[in-house]
Amino acid sequence: MRMNAATNGAFRILMICRRDRQLSMQEMAARLGLSEALVLKSCHELMQAGLLVGKRGRGGGYRLARDPEGIRITEIVDVFEPEENLFPCRLRADGECRIVEVCKLRRACERAYGVFRSELDRLTIADLALEDEGV
Q: What is the per-residue pLDDT across 95-123, written as a single tens digit (0 to 9) for each?
A: 667 777 788 887 888 888 888 889 999 99
Backbone angles phi, psi at 56, to 5 degrees: -85, 165
C-alpha distances (whole Å) from 134 to each of 31, 76, 113, 121 are: 10, 23, 32, 25
78: nearest Cα among 2, 5, 7 = 7
Hey, where are the domains in the chain?
5-134
* Digit-coded pLDDT (tens) for 57-89: 888 899 999 999 999 999 999 999 876 656 666
Residue positions counted in the chain: 135
Domain 5-134 has CATH 1.10.10.10: yes
